[in-house]
Amino acid sequence: MRILRTIAEVRAVVADARSGGASVGLVPTMGAFHEGHLSLMRAARDAHGLVVVSLFVNPTQFGQNEDLGSYPRDEERDAALAEAEGVDILFAPEPAEIYPDGFATTIHVEGVTDVLCGARRGPHHFDGVATVVTKLFGIVAPDAAYFGQKDAQQVLVVRRVVRDLNLPVEIVACPIVRESDGLAMSSRNAYLDAAARRRAAALNRALAAGEAAFAGGERDAARIVRNARAVLADAGIEPEYLELRDAVDLREIAQIDGDALLAVAARVGAARLIDNRILRGGA
Ligand code: PAF
């Protein structure tokens, strides 16, 4: 595996691989790898001749009071893990390589960014994600890019960018990887102390309660959300949001008659955690 810092180097390696007939898979990350990231790398490895993993803690998607400064960083460990998964290129640029002086373009997606994490973290968050991901697509020109379904809203935002800007890249959403007690793997789980770590498992249990109500025939959104909320309340967790929305455009729904996204965000101890389930109500 090669660690590359510049756009020119990445472009040269990608061009070389393409001239040899290889397809290219991209896994965009901010590092602090866990099994979730590694599952994306494996999916890309299975499908492509060249696998590029980007490692860039993207400053534009963090708000002023968020954790940009404390976000876990350990490039040496990440590089070893990526290499063990057979990744070809770890693209780990400096911020100035991605945002040189005079950088003045932002990709803004309307609609799906106005709710859930977009409403709580502010518009800069998904603007930052959409902009950096679009740049990575321009730099790597991948055939496919791999994202974790834990960030369900991010997946929808990226799909919308790709559709609206006619970008020739397939977006692959990979299943959420969970700890043995069901907690969704996240780099931010590192912020949890032992007590918070135990409470954090309630997020998955809350989603499971909503899912169980749905599986039992419940289609009323408010009742499903109430079931889930009760589990969080038992664990002493007040969610930032716990909502059931249309799984494609994130509009509010009162009844499930298509695929729905049951999504939660909550602060548990020092970590802001998110998780979700798709409830498949389509024909
Ligand atoms: O999901 C992430 O780690 C980030 O939001 C991403 C997609 C790498 C963009 O910075």
Average pLDDT per block of 10 residues along the chain, 283 residues long = 99 98 98 98 98 98 95 98 98 98 98 98 97 99 99 98 98 98 98 98 98 98 98 98 98 97 98 98 77
Ligand 1 binding pocket includes 151 (Cβ within 6 Å): yes
CATH code, domain carrying 64: 3.40.50.620
Residue 248 lies in a domain: yes
SS3 103: coil
pLDDT of res. 283: 65
pLDDT of res. 282: 76
Indicate the number of domains in the chain: 2
Ligand 1 binding pocket includes 132 (Cβ within 6 Å): yes
Residue 181 lies in a domain: no
Q: Is 37 a catalytic residue?
A: yes
Nearest-angstrom CA–CA distance, 123 and 108: 8
Ligand 1 binding pocket includes 158 (Cβ within 6 Å): no
- For ligand 1, atom 5, the nearest C-alpha belongs to 129
132 and 223 part of one domain: no
Residues contacting residue 220 through CB under 8 Å, at least 6 positions apart = 254, 255
Q: Which of 149, 174, 199 is the last residue of a domain?
A: 174
pLDDT of res. 203: 98
Nearest-angstrom CA–CA distance, 224 and 65: 33
Domain that holds residue 134: 2-174
204 and 85 part of one domain: no
- For ligand 1, atom 6, the nearest C-alpha belongs to 29
Residues contacting residue 12 through CB under 8 Å, at least 6 positions apart = none
SS3 92: coil
Q: Which of 112, 140, 174 is the last residue of a domain?
A: 174
Contact 223, 260 (CB under 8 A): no
CATH code, domain carrying 230: 3.30.1300.10
Q: Among residues 199, 210, 209, 195, which one has the least CA distance to residue 238? A: 199
Q: Which of 144, 174, 204 is the last residue of a domain?
A: 174
Stated pTM of the model: 0.98
191 and 121 part of one domain: no
